[in-house]
Structure 1
Amino acid sequence: MTEALLVLEDGRAFRGTAYGAVGETFGEAVFTTGMTGYQETLTDPSFHRQVVVQTAPQIGNTGVNGEDDESDRIWVAGYVVRDPARRPSSWRATASLDERLATEGVVGIAGVDTRALTRHLRSRGAMRVGISSVTTDPAELRERVLSQPEMLGADLSAEVTTGSRYTVAAEGEHRYTVAALDLGIKRNVARRLAARGVTTHIFPATSTVDDLLAVSPDAVFFSPGPGDPATADHPVALAQDVMRRRVPLFGICFGSQILGRALGFGTYKLAYGHRGINQPVLDKTTGKVEVTSHNHGFAVEAPLNQVIDTDFGGVEVSHVCLNDNVVEGLRAKDVPAFTVQYHPEAAAGPHDADYLFDRFVELVEKKG
């Protein structure tokens, strides 16, 4: 087995063996707590330029297949696991995980004490990292790590968006049309809308409001995606234009941060972010607590318990993370717009927040 080395920007080093492609990679080290859904994680565009540490010790048990991808490629910059499966065990598997990683050139490392690494990131915060299976010198690798760009200030939507518009048709009877701005969209978003009779037109991130309105949408959707929302001035202006025209608007994750900025709020980088499929969130509208899927390193800064006066009328925080009181959703009271910071489209789950797509459809119905 080929030796591999992981070095964080603060100098902490871990040794293991190469997993996936042999080579060298860099990115922001983040951990995700999901015990299932590693294929969906790997193919989520929101993980672009991030090296993902899996806290679940055994990864790859069910291999990979051609049905569970959330996009057309793996987006993570690197992958860190403790105990990879020697062979997949699933009737759905078409290849092993390490074969898929190697095929797509994704450099990983296995045999790492991921518990120690996670505890380090949990106390020190997400930071730049390098993985190499071509050098064994931590000092040498750290020098290259320190030369890499940070996630703060990163404008990445253009690197993950679609090159041209495409359409996902409604299942059964067509009821409504949605124009979706692709900032790093996952396939399950359009699937959840299609199940409700919605035809979704997915547009490149550089699209104008005229582009979106050309399909006569009943509503507009802003997708999840990677990077620092403080850099996304074009989508922010686009969201403001949509709200001025009073077209129903829904934003998820990065889309939520964009709408937050459009409403006049600031955004900030979390110390280590929320990533995984077991995050508790309070829906303040119903008082119910949901177990939810998260993948975000930035958040909106807004008062939790008051209606805030904005250029678009009153806005209130609708959802709150119960782990740390981070804003997890906004609701505009005077224009038809709302957001959530997490992932109701959750693949591979959980599905507690799937009702939010019903809430989106209800917003369209009320507007009509």
Structure 2
Amino acid sequence: MKYTTRQKAILLLSDGTIFYGKSIGIEGTTFGEVCFNTGMTGYQEIFTDPSYFGQIMVATNAHIGNYGVNEEDVESDQIMISGLVCKNFSFNYSRANSSGSLEDYFKKQNLICISDVDTRALVSYIRDNGAMNAVISTDGKSIDELKELLAKVPNMEGLELASKVSTKAPYFVGEETATYKIAALDLGIKKNILRNLAKRDCYIKVFPFDTTYEEMKAFNPDGFFLSNGPGDPDPLFGAIEIAKKILSNDDPVFGICLGHQVLALANGIPTYKMFNGHRGINHPVMNVITGKGEITSQNHGFAVNREALEKHADLEITHLHINDGTVAGMRMKNKNCFSVQYHPEASPGPHDSSYLFDQFIENIKSCVTK
């Protein structure tokens, strides 16, 4: 019955383009920057990734919801995307260890989803015209009303969103008796990053985005970690100041995604908003130090300026995105600092990039033994 009685739904892009679909049963209207992810699996990890906060996700895979949900397959405690657009939404699911349906999961968190959309045409349009704000509506609002509401939504460029997803109070992960202590700045950190550090004998204290360097240093950490997260890195003045002080004190530091961009800004390297961004689990990256390729998971709409980075005397590129030549990793020649633009904890390779966590530990060891 759901397939024949579902309410009509609308996707309206900021340039006035309209796509039609059907509601999965949750009424409402939601806004965000429309983007697409090319991953064939892992939709629950995508939906709960804090880096996607403020974005309407278009799934390129034809079927979403077919294997239900599992309480362990999350990267945060709630859904982070603003809404979902897909071709076929599976109300029925099949997986031995599923704990429920994606439909019920969405209903619990009131996540608006529209299906039966021509996602091939939509993705092609976004690829040609760039990421832009959009609205999806399932409650019968008129096009004119949606246009008026959409015009008030701020653009992603210049938008600070880390404060929306960061922890409100410090917390600990791992065993207190672990060999290494890590101070992690939460700009939208994923749970699997913390798991990867913990299983490498680390005790991690996770700090809110607006923490000071001095507060983090009081934990007496062996190393610092700057996390992934949503939004534009430019407005993160506090995080950039923390990065500058970490570098000034030559503390070991590892940055992923937004943390990578913050480290670049701390070195005076500008970032820029990409036309579409990279979002998927099959992005090819070249490690220019080893000459080896990696299959990576990526989720970012901003990037580090390659030309400025190549001119910087104290920085060098370590990884490049093979498809478009954008910076995928860097390190400092004179500091114990490195970072990547992709997500090694997501394991799409599956283990192509896990060495980066080991590299971080080795960097800490080298400082401890000095």
Secondary structure of 1:362's partner?
Answer: helix
Q: Cα offset for 1:184?
A: 0.1
Report if the CA contact (8 A) 2:251-2:336 is conserved: yes
Unaligned residue ranges in structure 1 (runs of 5+): none
RMSD between aligned residues: 1.5
Q: Cα offset for 1:170?
A: 4.2
2:292 corresponds to: 288
Of 343-352 and 22-31, the range deviating more from structure 2? 343-352
Find out whether 1:160 has 2:165 as its counterpart.
yes
Q: Cα offset for 1:293?
A: 0.3
Instruction: State how far apart, in whole Å, the 1-side matches of 2:28 and 2:234 are.
Output: 33
1:48 corresponds to: 53
Instruction: State how far apart, in whole Å, the 2-side matches of 1:3 and 1:276 are.
Output: 29
Amino acid corresponding to residue 299 of structure 1 in structure 2:
A
Secondary structure of 2:307's partner?
Answer: coil
Amino acid corresponding to residue 194 of structure 1 in structure 2:
A
Report if the CA contact (8 A) 2:347-2:353 is conserved: no
Instruction: State how far apart, in whole Å, the 1-side matches of 2:350 and 2:43 are.
Output: 14
Instruction: State how far apart, in whole Å, the 1-side matches of 2:320 and 2:175 are.
Output: 32
Choose the corresponding residue for 1:225, options 229, 232, 247. 229
Instruction: State how far apart, in whole Å, the 1-side matches of 2:157 and 2:25 are.
Output: 28
Alignment of structure 1 residues 148-297 onto 2, 5 Å:
148-170=153-175, 174-297=178-301
Distance change >3 Å, CA 62–CA 242, structure 1 → 2: same
Report if the CA contact (8 A) 2:295-2:349 is conserved: no
Q: Cα offset for 1:82?
A: 0.5
Of 128-137 and 236-245, the range deviating more from structure 2? 128-137
Choose the corresponding residue for 2:33, options 28, 51, 58. 28
Q: Cα offset for 1:21?
A: 2.4
Q: Cα offset for 1:12?
A: 1.3
1:337 corresponds to: 337
Deviations 1:171-199 (A, max 9, x none): 9x722110000000000001001111111
Report if the CA contact (8 A) 1:36-1:348 is conserved: no
Q: Cα offset for 1:302?
A: 2.8
Distance change >3 Å, CA 155–CA 247, structure 1 → 2: same
Q: Cα offset for 1:350?
A: 3.7
Q: Cα offset for 1:86?
A: 2.9
Q: Cα offset for 1:330?
A: 1.1
Q: Cα offset for 1:307?
A: 6.2
Instruction: State how far apart, in whole Å, the 2-side matches of 1:347 and 1:291 are.
Output: 9
Percentage identity across aligned positions?
44
Q: Cα offset for 1:140?
A: 3.0
Report if the CA contact (8 A) 2:318-2:330 is conserved: yes
Q: Cα offset for 1:367?
A: 1.4
TM-score (norm 2): 0.95
TM-score (norm 1): 0.95
Amino acid corresponding to residue 325 of structure 1 in structure 2:
G
Q: Cα offset for 1:305?
A: 8.7
Q: Cα offset for 1:255?
A: 0.3
Instruction: State how far apart, in whole Å, the 2-side matches of 1:66 and 1:101 are.
Output: 13
Of 80-89 and 261-270, the range deviating more from structure 2? 80-89
Report if the CA contact (8 A) 1:170-1:195 is conserved: no
Instruction: State how far apart, in whole Å, the 2-side matches of 1:246 and 1:20 are.
Output: 54
2:353 corresponds to: 353
Q: Cα offset for 1:139?
A: 3.6
Report if the CA contact (8 A) 1:135-1:141 is conserved: no
Amino acid corresponding to residue 285 of structure 1 in structure 2:
I
Aligned positions, number? 363
Distance change >3 Å, CA 349–CA 131, structure 1 → 2: farther
Amino acid corresponding to residue 63 of structure 1 in structure 2:
G
Amino acid corresponding to residue 338 of structure 2 in structure 1:
F
Report if the CA contact (8 A) 1:61-1:89 is conserved: yes
Amino acid corresponding to residue 84 of structure 2 in structure 1:
Y
Distance change >3 Å, CA 5–CA 142, structure 1 → 2: same
Instruction: State how far apart, in whole Å, the 2-side matches of 1:271 and 1:151 are.
Output: 12
Of 351-360 and 273-282, the range deviating more from structure 2? 351-360
Deviations 1:31-55 (A, max 9, x none): 0001110000000011111000000
Q: Cα offset for 1:349?
A: 6.4
Secondary structure of 1:26's partner?
Answer: strand
2:114 corresponds to: 109
Report if the CA contact (8 A) 1:21-1:103 is conserved: no
2:128 corresponds to: 123
Amino acid corresponding to residue 303 of structure 1 in structure 2:
E
Report if the CA contact (8 A) 1:4-1:136 is conserved: no
Amino acid corresponding to residue 124 of structure 1 in structure 2:
N
Instruction: State how far apart, in whole Å, the 2-side matches of 1:289 and 1:273 are.
Output: 20
Q: Cα offset for 1:136?
A: 5.5
